Amino acid sequence: MNSFMSWVGGKKALREEVVRRFPIYYERYIEVFGGGGWVLFHKDPGNDFEVYNDFNSLLVNLYRCVRDKPEELIAALRYVLNSREDFERARTALARDSPMDAVRKAALFYQIIRYSYASALTSYGSQPHDMRANFPLIEQAHRRLARVVVENKDFEKLVRQYDRPVSLFYCDPPYHATEGYYQNIGEDGFTEKDHIRLRDTLLSMQGKFLLSYNDDEFIRELYDAPGIRIEPVTRLNNIRQRYDPNCQFSELLIANYDMHERERASVQLNLFDYEKEEDDDEIFEGTY
């Protein structure tokens, strides 16, 4: 299923590549830098214990309202206007951090996500958009998030809390050399020290991690360690599509396990079925 929102750095275009590299077995799924939640919404909910986390408190409040108060949120969004004036009023109200209830704050934040240019929250998008078209998405997300724990923690504290040998952590941090962009969306910014701190946290965990990054020499060197696998992937560069069709953006998937174990297991099962069919044919032929 799709996410109910777009977000800077969202994994809509890469979600299939990410999910197909999940390990075969895990009992806990923790999305460390949740953002738009495209991977969480795309994966099979199964019976695993799921955690969504983000350090942006406005984003986490929105997720909690979608999960727990969808009807109130939809009611608060029903009559918002797609106008520059309304957009600026919403931004100003959130910037002032004035006292308001959780649903009102979530509605204002969702409004500026949907009406801003490229969902960057900084400038009015000047594009037609029917807010009511989002209501079925919010209701669908409400049902999907019903059993998901929503956290608002620093990544290191989150990992320490949920780390077990049966845990799978998916991490999609701000990409290296683009960290300043995230300061425009209610975050304090991700520094080079944070990239190193994330590496140290992941390399010392008990569980498994899958990490997505931009293909960057600093990141390649950072994760050049025993037992760590790095795989380049590409996706369409959405930003450049208007003037450079089919332009690709290079990314890295990094893990501390075999990212192709699902694929290999599937091949083995198919091979077993094929051999079984041959055996059955021989038995059948021998009955004549």
Q: pLDDT, tens digit, for every residue of 119-178?
A: 888 899 988 999 999 999 999 999 999 999 999 999 999 999 999 999 999 999 999 876
* pLDDT exceeds cutoff 50 at 288: no
| Annotation: CATH topology of 57-147 | Adenine-specific Methyltransferase; domain 2 (1.10.1020)
**34 in Cβ contact with 54 (< 8 Å):** yes
183-208 pLDDT, tens digit each: 544 556 788 999 999 999 999 999 99
Q: Is the pTM of this model over 0.95?
A: no
List beta partners, residue 271. none
**CATH number for the segment(s) 1-56+152-257:** 3.40.50.150
Question: Which comes out higher in pLDDT, residue 62 or 11?
Answer: 62
Instruction: Give the Cα separation of 203 and 208 in Å (integer).
Output: 9
Q: What are the residue boundaries of the structural domains of the chain, listed by start?
A: 1-56+152-257, 57-147, 261-288
How distant is the alpha carbon of residue 18 from its chain centre? 10
Q: According to the model, what pLDDT value does residue 80 have?
A: 93
Please say if the pLDDT value at position 61 is more than 80.
yes
DSSP lists the bridge partners of residue 254 as 211, 230
**Residue type for position 161:** Q
Burial annotation 18-39 (CB, 10 A radius, 16+ → b, else e): bbebbeeebebbbbbbbbbbbb
Confidence of residue 69 (pLDDT cuts 50, 70, 90): very high
Q: What is the pLDDT of residue 21?
A: 95
Average pLDDT score over residue span 201-219: 96
pLDDT of residue 64: 98
